[in-house]
Structure 1
């Protein structure tokens, strides 16, 4: 198996103690679900690619389909999926030796499939490269550990901690709270080490059973791959301890939502941070990037807040931004400038929910900053004080967000017009599915009162 020489060191180390039995060929669909095939290792060694129908990108989160196939109709032609051996990583929860390998999607003429999420992000990174820029990102992942829930009609509850009580709530940064579900965290650490994923830190957040994991900054595509892998890793660690991990933006009524904050910086061809000038001051590029976020973020909310539940997170005075203000070391603003040395100057986008597809969310955020720098967009005046006192500056629901997205031709040009077409069709199909569901609130307040 000569390809084994090209895989990362962590995967090689894993295979020193495990006989390779199976290779999972995976690709992220629009919601970020891992699609693909599990192939016996001996067979995978003999193939350079495999096939899946392009219709996997037309599926909604429920498994239904959007009519996005195009003028030829719903023929489901095969895509050619080619492995990126640099993504090979263990599946340490599997009984037998198993590797996961992310694949890239091409059509039968060899062109990248434009609505494949990893290709969308690569398109944006390539636009930066054409300007001599290298974007750097660092995602922060928030999620909940919750009790097993197999009845959709039942409210989600925090997991039971080792004390026999539901996991500690509203104790942000409490080490005791982290200890309460330490066995799950231990497995997260173990799995991450085996997979070669570097965790920059882990902390209790403000919700009951809510954690945050920070990943070390780096290449946008590699970091999106890590978030993609990490979601599965965390779910598997939770299942070992009879609980669920959820990345819903707002899983528990009355508790804070879960975000995927994205830190941005940009390097020039010599590896210097273009947000910082020769004397350590902030540059025009720094302010233009902020201006791009302010100007274009409303148009991509449908990507970074992709479900009806996503908008339940945007609640005034409840640990999530409702604005596009920018401020220094101010967590009430949608765009925050963290404390840092000049060389590490960065811009934090606090708007994305953890329910997003990491490839698409990072691509959308970078696209806004790119347009800001290309078009030299100046930001509004820096916000001082509590930004919850500002006006709402983002759409109030998925339908409104999709209306803004459909009209944003400048964003479409960056992310890809064909991606924009398919994404809108699939999300509108999903929204129509939601409208067919009658909620407990409607039954409680409308059944006998209207």
Structure 2
């Protein structure tokens, strides 16, 4: 490890050039996508090739509780965390010079831990690779800037802009709306540049204080890593300017929700050509099979794309969120949209994922549905050319129903990994049970004295 800095990507080397590196954060994403791990002095990191964490971090719920282990006793054996130096990036908001490094989780025999979300995504990508395919994704991140909310009992409010007014809704694509919190955006750009991340564009979305950041297309694991890093980067930028950034699917009542749209294409590994387009630029059978796989398996995958009780508040009519499995060309009312593109860039956009999903698991689940479609060679139903918002609801209404559908789809569970699906189900049912024990203000207002 003495020359470990030679393995760093160029932006990380540039960040520490001519300065003393103080600290290295060794991190891994848990089931929720929260960064877990250890921070250590750079001198200590240089002397060790790996470190240990208990495997129980993948049984922890979003509330900090512990789910039952479905595959054995709760003995918390150690996993080995192995650094992936290609992920090393700056933490430019810290007072000292700090690098973050994502680690891979392996067991004591050196095998990938099947319940680690990054390993789940790698597993799905490897299934594509075994068929001679290379999956390509391009994610879009929607999120809200909101006023500091220190009391969970109080509703979330839009942030105060530079004009002294709260951010306004229904200003999609407005440049002046983005300028309201321009200083936060400036810090996001600066942090992203220091970390070596490429932003394809930033725009105002339809909600009050709602922003979208687009990332360039590329390798699924690398882009999931970037979203994992971006969530922290954006939160840190917001805190510098007395507001919060939230990736909740539906943080503000009466406002649209936040999605993580995922654009998909698949390339033939040998030829480098998009398998969704034929020699004359026409749509191929593979493209239709991919769409059909989405239609067949997305209902079960929703448990990963919409992982919290709040996620299902986004799936309501008339709030720009698709609640259907229809597909269409350049039709934003469909859950599966085919954007306008040249044949070599033909792709399918999955518009169902929420921004609250773990990026590794959201991308893995979406890719898994398309993979099954390619393998099963199904055909999709007819294209929707009208308003798909009028279509019948086809998605689960709550987290409990979604988990039931995932449990029933053995093909999807096999692709994602049976052991992972068992742990995921245990964690999410624990969270759902906790939620059902909470009495909401709506219940007190309308039921306390009326029933």
Q: Which residue of 2 aligns with 1:340?
A: 341
The Cα offsets for residues 310-335 of structure 1, whole Å up to 9 and x where unpaired, read as 00000112110000000011110000
Q: Where in structure 2 are the equivalents of 1:288-327 lying within 5 Å?
A: 288-327=289-328
Given that 1:55 and 1:69 are in contact with CA atoms closer than 8 Å, whether structure 2 keeps it comes out as: no
Q: Which residue of 2 aligns with 1:377?
A: 378
Is 1:254 the counterpart of 2:254? The answer is yes
1:193-204 aligned within 5 A: 193-204=193-204
Q: Provide the residue aligned with 1:209 in structure 2.
A: 209
Q: Which residue pairs with 2:190 in the alignment?
A: 190
1:69, distance to aligned residue in structure 2 (A): 5.5
Partner residue, 1:29: 30
Partner of 1:141: 141
Contact kept, 8 Å, 2:333 with 2:389, in 1: the verdict is: yes
Residues 4-403 of structure 1 aligned to structure 2 (within 5 Å): 4-68=5-69, 70-71=71-72, 73-268=73-268, 269-403=270-404
List per-residue Cα deviations over 1:272-294 (Å, max 9, x = no partner).
10000000000011000000000
Taking only aligned residues, the RMSD between alpha carbons, in angstroms, comes to 0.7
Q: Give the unaligned 5+ runs of structure 1.
A: none
Between the aligned partners of 2:375 and 2:19, the Cα distance in structure 1 is 50
Deviation at 1:17, TM superposition (A): 4.5
Deviation by residue 1:133-182 (Cα, 9 ceiling, x = unmatched): 00000000000000000100000001100000001321000000011100
1:290, 1:164 → 2: CA distance?
47
CA contact (8 A) 2:71 2:419 kept: no
Q: Is the 8 A contact 1:137 1:263 kept in 2?
A: yes
Matched length? 449
Distance 2:343 2:256 in 1: 32
How much does 1:61 deviate? Answer: 0.4
Give the match's secondary structure for 2:17.
helix
Q: Are the aligned partners of 1:138 and 1:215 in contact in 2 as well (CA < 8 Å)? A: yes
The runs of 5 or more residues in structure 2 that have no matched partner are: none
SS in 2 for 1:20: coil
1:58 Cα deviation after fit: 0.2
C-alpha contact 1:399 1:431 (8 A) present in aligned 2: yes
* Residue pair 2:327, 2:336 contacting (<8 A) in 1 also: yes
Secondary structure at the counterpart of residue 22 of structure 2: strand
Q: Output the CA distance in 2 between the equivalents of 1:244 and 1:354.
A: 15
Deviation at 1:70, TM superposition (A): 2.6
Does the 8 Å contact 1:19/1:96 carry over to 2?
no
CA distance in 1, matches of 2:358, 2:409: 20
TM-score for both structures, normalised by structure 1: 0.99
Runs of 4+ in 1 over 2 A off after TM superposition: none
* SS in structure 2 at match of 1:343: helix
Question: CA separation in 2, counterparts of 1:307 and 1:105?
Answer: 25
Worse-superposed segment, 10-19 or 172-181: 10-19
Matches of 2:143 and 2:186 in 1, distance apart? 16
Q: Which whole-Å CA distance do the structure 1 matches of 2:70 and 2:184 have between them?
A: 42
User: Is contact 1:58-1:69 (8 Å) kept?
Assistant: no
TM-score if structure 2 supplies the norm length? Answer: 0.99
CA shift, 1:18, in A, is: 3.3
How far off its partner does 1:415 sit?
A: 0.4
Moved more, 127-136 or 265-274: 265-274
Helix, strand or coil: the match of 1:360?
A: helix
- Distance in 2, Cα, partners of 1:237 & 1:273: 37
Q: Are the equivalent residues in 2 in contact too, given 1:168–1:180 (CA < 8 A)?
A: no
Q: Which residue of 2 aligns with 1:425?
A: 426
What's the secondary structure of 1:101's corresponding residue?
A: strand
Structure 1 partner of 2:436: 435
Classify 1:428/1:332 alpha carbon distance in 2 versus 1 (closer, same or farther; 3 Å).
same
Q: Please report how far the alpha carbon of residue 198 of structure 1 lies from its aligned counterpart in structure 2 after TM superposition.
A: 0.2
Q: What CA distance in whole angstroms lies between the structure 2 residues aligned with 1:70 and 1:264?
A: 33
User: CA–CA distance in 2 between the matches of 1:194 and 1:17?
Assistant: 15
For residues 442 and 205 of structure 2, the distance between their equivalents in structure 1, rounded to whole angstroms, comes to 28
Structure-2 separation of matches of 1:433 and 1:108: 33
Conserved 8 A contact 2:70-2:426: no
